[in-house]
C-alpha cells in the first residue's frame, strides 16, 4: 500500500513540477493524473498492482475527504448567506450552460455520425 501511495504522490509531484515549469493553465494534480494514466497504460498494470490497490483504498474512504469542504462551508456560512443570491444564480447558470453544451454536443455528434453512416 505504501508503494502505491508513493507512486500516486510521485505522479502528483511530477504534475506540479511540469505545470510550474511550463506555466500551463492546468492544475498540477490534473497533469499528475494524466501522467499516472500514461504510466499505468504503458506498464499495463493489472488489478493486483500496488497503485490500483492504494487507489481502491482511498476510494473506499472517499467520504472522509469531503469533511474539510463541509467544515469550510459551516465556517463561512455567514458569508455564504450574505451572498446567497449571486451564488445560487451562478450555480444554476453554470448548470444550465453545462446542460446546454452537452445537449448541443450530443445533437451535433448524432448528426455527424448519421451523415457518415449514410455515405
Nearest Cα to Cα of residue 39 among 57, 75, 70, 14: 14
27: pLDDT confidence band, cut at 50, 70 and 90? Answer: very high
* 8 HSE (CA, 13 A, CB side): 15
Let me know whether 107 and 56 are in one domain: no
Average pLDDT for 2-22:
92
Gap between the Cα atoms of 109 and 119, Å rounded = 16
Nearest Cα to Cα of residue 35 among 64, 12, 60, 66: 12
**What is each CA distance from 22 to 19, 33, 39, 56, in whole angstroms?**
5, 17, 20, 31
Average pLDDT for 88-102:
97
Let me know whether 12 and 55 are in one domain: yes
Question: The domain containing residue 73 runs over which residues?
Answer: 67-119
* Residue at which a domain ends, from 17, 42, 60: 60
Number of domains in the chain: 2
Q: Which of 12-21, 35-44, 103-112 has the lowest mean pLDDT?
A: 35-44
Let me know whether 81 and 114 are in one domain: yes
* Residue at which a domain ends, from 20, 38, 60: 60
Let me know whether 8 and 43 are in one domain: yes
| Cβ neighbours around 76 below 10 Å, total | 12
Q: What is the pTM of this model?
A: 0.56
Let me know whether 96 and 54 are in one domain: no
Gap between the Cα atoms of 21 and 33, Å rounded = 17
Q: With beta carbons less than 8 A apart as the criterion, state whether 50 and 70 touch.
A: no
pLDDT at 66 over 90: no
Let me know whether 2 and 26 are in one domain: yes
Gap between the Cα atoms of 12 and 6, Å rounded = 10
Q: Which helix (H) or strand (E) holds 25?
A: none
Amino acid at each position: 500500500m505504501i508503494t502505491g501511495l508513493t507512486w500516486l504522490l510521485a505522479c502528483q509531484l511530477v504534475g506540479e513540477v511540469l505545470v510550474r515549469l511550463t506555466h500551463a493553465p492546468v492544475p498540477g494534480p490534473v497533469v499528475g493524473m494524466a501522467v499516472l494514466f500514461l504510466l499505468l497504460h504503458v506498464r499495463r498494470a493489472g488489478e493486483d498492482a500496488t497503485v490500483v490497490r492504494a487507489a481502491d483504498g482511498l476510494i473506499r474512504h472517499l467520504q472522509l475527504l469531503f469533511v474539510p469542504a463541509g467544515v469550510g462551508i459551516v465556517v463561512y456560512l455567514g458569508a455564504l448567506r450574505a451572498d446567497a443570491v449571486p451564488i445560487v444564480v451562478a450555480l444554476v447558470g453554470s448548470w444550465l450552460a453545462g446542460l446546454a453544451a452537452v445537449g448541443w454536443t450530443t445533437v451535433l455528434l448524432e448528426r455527424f455520425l448519421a451523415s457518415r453512416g449514410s455515405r
